[in-house]
Structure 1
């Protein structure tokens, strides 16, 4: 299409838009992103220019793109240039919140935004942007007193060293740079969160204005450190803890009640033995909570966590609690116990449970002598779901990005099809199962219908099959069973891959193998030439 044709189409579209009332036009434009509205319609004609200057379209701007799987990218240079040179100077006094990506951040923030109170900075790299978060910087000097809400999303760079220390320094500096900060979300743009820690050399920082904090910390003691009174106006804390050690200490001067805290979210995906010793006592300090969210993996000494435990230790202690969401996977050692609870027994303990639909899934693994109980409130709103077994009840979650599968019974083809449908935006998948499939024919094309569908993972970027039987490597690499996306990173045992691909000659696995961006081969130090030829577009690690 040439420029003349584009102008004719644009003119025709404008005539159609002008036929609509202001109310209808605003209703339609609100369906678009504000940056799209401003870029397309500002300056087109007087009427549209007046409409797009409304605060509906100018108060909150996101000058970046976010894909369906949460990847953030800058706008094109052509679009950004128009914003720098024309749009932002014209509406700068109307902008109250800006979300920007790191590559365009300094150019955008060099402008004057007198009414800006909220700022989101995404895809930051500590090494290249740390200078922006020091006193005396023009960026912080201009906005020192006016920024009330701040989101900072750090991009993971595996080449960086001492990243935790640098994150911690940046985090503590924010409270001296933005003196009126009320909301802070200090997060990572990666599945793998980047943590801060205060244990080695605790810094001194306080805030008498902070009301809500989102942060990832290294240990349980770091969480206690945040609750020692330095944020005396804190009403909501969302904390992701890397590890809750059973030997973490309850700081003697940090056992006071927290009556002002109304909302608490605690996430820790690593198994902990300290539920009764550390987590429950901390929750008892928060007796005025109105909203509670727990994501925990608990190693129990005697009994699995069920509804009765949650009622006794949590709900009955929090009379003002009106929303309780949880995702708890508890395990117990099997030592010839009798009367082990069934899934029905666990589900019964949630009868008359307030406010939520509760799902339970109970498994007993005889080989590793372990019982597992996964209980969660539905709909499932967390980013990770681990150790899913054949008893997985299904259900769709658009939030999950990371999944791990484990069982001592084989996974058949339909199980993987169910996983692909339940987690449509999955990015990272790990499979642990050494049992061969019973029905390898169920994924082949024939006249039946239930087992014929190909499993699709359009957003998958990491696949770990290092502890998987050959049948599951075949399940993912044969293109009549699974459709893999391009640019996938695969970890797999070399000998197992050699068997599945028939010494790297099979045409059944060739199409999916061509899609691999990188391949980690476990147990092989020298890669033969014919292996490299089988993966022509793949970096073999």
Structure 2
């Protein structure tokens, strides 16, 4: 053994566990399993006690190492009674699931592509035979490939790639285990995919969490409209700005006759602006058994010659209906462009993002937020950024603007989306020293470059830790 390992091996178990918890199961098995009996015992008793996670970094094209898989095959029979949750890549799922009986397994998360997912869930598959009558909670997540594309092809256009599983949902009637699922988490492209899932195959579903990338909810006519009596918790988040929600979502809520908990997020770009009256009439009044309502709703609308006024006090007043939360509102009117942005949300704030923050932001403490975006006609001053840093202590992604480290200190691992011209002007052609510290903490820089400006060598030095991408 080398001296470094001897020092590591001399540490008490408590310290080793704290150090190793920052590694994935994959890395722990690769680096430490079978070194000695002590490490084997720590791995089995602390890290593989209740769950097994075998996922390679989403940004990686590296295949699973045979050494790792052999270690897993050896360990699984020893811990099968303990495993309640499996998080696994679909590439190796069939190599893992038949190694033991997993008598206490309740939850499976699968990282997959579209074609792989269809093969996994068809009747007669090994997954259905072994896990079909056991699991109660299923999560399907898309595998992403980013950095290898950059390394191989240079510049790229896709920020985040998601394979939408809509074809899988259209085939959902052949999934024999779906009647056992009580919780489901999915990301889809269209509202119709949501309707396919709720056509009756998941007849024991109690909690349903869905993210939708589409911009509207016009339903098709080829799905079954049945009463949905089992769902008690429903969360729907529209990832992009939407045009409407009333033609599909509202009728769907009418069908959820026993819904007790409802989470919703969207930003709407058409009139009317969502205010306390619409919130009550279209959502609250249509869910008679509602006990918990968590919402985060924005209206971004071009008013032209119209004028709109609303009372924050009226919005807050309607919060009396809810015992566990209050209703907060922010309204911004941008005179030059004649856009109005209205934002209403339930407090305490539980979402991991906060969009369209203006100079009128009143502050607060938003510990759950990791992504923020700024939106205003007027420039943001340094005191404003100080308020942002205080209000969002754990944010890791900033869209539109950046900070002066004399006033504010960024965390590491920041994502920055900004205009190249604005960046050039703000940094005085990437020469201002007061920005260097924070800029060195940015890992990904996405620049809007309108006029095909030549790439500035000072820019690359200024953001020396960042992967830089350009768009028009």
The TM-score with structure 2 as length reference comes to 0.74
Residues 321 and 346 (structure 1), Cα distance of their counterparts in 2 relative to 1, 3 Å cut: closer
Tell me if structure 2 keeps the 8 A contact 1:132–1:139. Answer: yes
- Structure 2 CA distance, aligned partners of 1:319 and 1:166? 33
1:362 pairs with 306, 318, 331, which one? 331
Q: CA deviation at 1:258?
A: 3.4
Shifted more, 112-121 versus 233-242: the winner is 112-121
Q: CA deviation at 1:115?
A: 1.6
Give the aligned partner of residue 103 of structure 2. 115
- Structure 2 CA distance, aligned partners of 1:349 and 1:475? 50
1:480 pairs with 415, 431, 434, which one? 434
Q: CA deviation at 1:369?
A: 1.7
1:168 pairs with 166, 169, 176, which one? 166
Residues 390 and 12 (structure 1), Cα distance of their counterparts in 2 relative to 1, 3 Å cut: closer
2:449 pairs with 483, 493, 501, which one? 493
- Structure 1 CA distance, aligned partners of 2:279 and 2:49? 46
Number of residue pairs aligned between Structure 1 and Structure 2 = 454
Residues 393 and 42 (structure 1), Cα distance of their counterparts in 2 relative to 1, 3 Å cut: farther
Residues 513 and 356 (structure 1), Cα distance of their counterparts in 2 relative to 1, 3 Å cut: same
Alignment of 1:428-443 (within 5 A): 428-431=397-400, 443=404
Residues 128 and 421 (structure 1), Cα distance of their counterparts in 2 relative to 1, 3 Å cut: farther
Q: Helix, strand or coil for the counterpart of 1:326?
A: strand
- Structure 2 CA distance, aligned partners of 1:405 and 1:114? 48
Q: Where do 5+ consecutive residues of structure 2 fail to align?
A: 150-157
Q: Where do 5+ consecutive residues of structure 1 fail to align?
A: 18-25, 182-207, 445-451, 523-541
The TM-score with structure 1 as length reference comes to 0.66
Residues 173 and 308 (structure 1), Cα distance of their counterparts in 2 relative to 1, 3 Å cut: closer
- Structure 2 CA distance, aligned partners of 1:290 and 1:477? 56
Residues 75 and 229 (structure 1), Cα distance of their counterparts in 2 relative to 1, 3 Å cut: closer
1:223-276 Cα distance to aligned partner (Å, 9 max, x none): 333334343333332222222437x24749855543433111121143334344
Tell me if structure 1 keeps the 8 A contact 2:90–2:116. Answer: no
Q: CA deviation at 1:293?
A: 0.4
Shifted more, 390-399 versus 73-82: the winner is 73-82
Tell me if structure 1 keeps the 8 A contact 2:169–2:196. Answer: no
Give the aligned partner of residue 87 of structure 1. 75
Shifted more, 150-159 versus 78-87: the winner is 78-87
Q: CA deviation at 1:387?
A: 1.9
Q: CA deviation at 1:373?
A: 0.9
1:409-466 Cα distance to aligned partner (Å, 9 max, x none): 211233334445544555554328xxxx9xxxx948xxxxxxx334415222452426
Q: CA deviation at 1:104?
A: 5.8
Residues 443 and 99 (structure 1), Cα distance of their counterparts in 2 relative to 1, 3 Å cut: closer
Residues 253 and 176 (structure 1), Cα distance of their counterparts in 2 relative to 1, 3 Å cut: closer
**Structure 2 residue 207 is the aligned partner of structure 1 residue 236:** yes
State the Cα RMSD in Å.
Answer: 4.9
Q: CA deviation at 1:96?
A: 3.4
**Structure 2 residue 349 is the aligned partner of structure 1 residue 380:** yes
- Structure 1 CA distance, aligned partners of 2:246 and 2:66? 57
- Structure 2 CA distance, aligned partners of 1:99 and 1:84? 13
Please identify the structure whose Cα radius of gyration is greater.
1
1:513 pairs with 451, 457, 463, which one? 463
Q: Helix, strand or coil for the counterpart of 2:177?
A: coil
* More contact order relative to length (CA 8 Å, sep ≥ 6): 2
**Structure 2 residue 413 is the aligned partner of structure 1 residue 459:** yes
Give the aligned partner of residue 185 of structure 2. 214
